[in-house]
């Protein structure tokens, strides 16, 4: 089973970047250096969904932290399912 390509971690807080398209950390707001993403292959459609779930949960957090957590959990499960399917397709 092939492993997923590694994602860079935030130099400030050490968490993996969740929003590839952004040039700053979604967790602590630290701007990434210009060459930060060199050497990393951009993941395909998966981060788009990741950002989507993150945005939805961010909005929900204002109203209900529990609902935000539920959305994040559902998003993580969905992303796992998506990655699993992508790997199946690529192996053909």
Instruction: Examine residue 17 and tell whether it contacts Zn ion (CB under 5 A).
Output: no
| 10 touching Zn ion, by CB under 5 A | yes
Smallest separation (angstroms) from Zn ion to the CB of 18: 10
Task: Please give the Cα distance from 6 to 24 (Å, whole number).
Answer: 18
Question: Which region, judged by CB under 5 A, interacts with Zn ion, from 25-33, 37-45, 47-55, 74-82?
Answer: 25-33
For Zn ion, give the closer residue by CB, 6 or 44: 6
Pick from 4, 6, 9, 13: which binds Zn ion (CB under 5 A)? 13
**Shortest gap between Cβ of 29 and Zn ion (angstroms)?**
7
Of 9, 16, 23, 28, the residue at the interface with Zn ion (CB under 5 A) is: 28
- Long-range CB pairs of 14-22 (<8 Å, 24+ gap) are 18/47, 18/50, 18/51, 18/54, 19/47, 19/50, 19/51, 19/54, 20/47, 21/47, 21/51, 22/51
């Amino acid at each position: 089973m092939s492993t997923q390509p590694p994602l860079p971690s935030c130099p400030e807080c050490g968490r993996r970047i969740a929003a590839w398209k952004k040039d700053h950390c979604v967790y602590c707001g630290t701007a990434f250096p210009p060459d930060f993403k060199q050497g990393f292959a951009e993941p395909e459609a998966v981060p788009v969904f990741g950002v989507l779930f993150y945005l939805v949960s961010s909005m929900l957090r204002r109203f209900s932290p529990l609902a935000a957590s539920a959305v994040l959990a559902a998003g993580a499960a969905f992303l796992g399912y998506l990655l699993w399917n992508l790997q199946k397709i690529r192996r053909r």
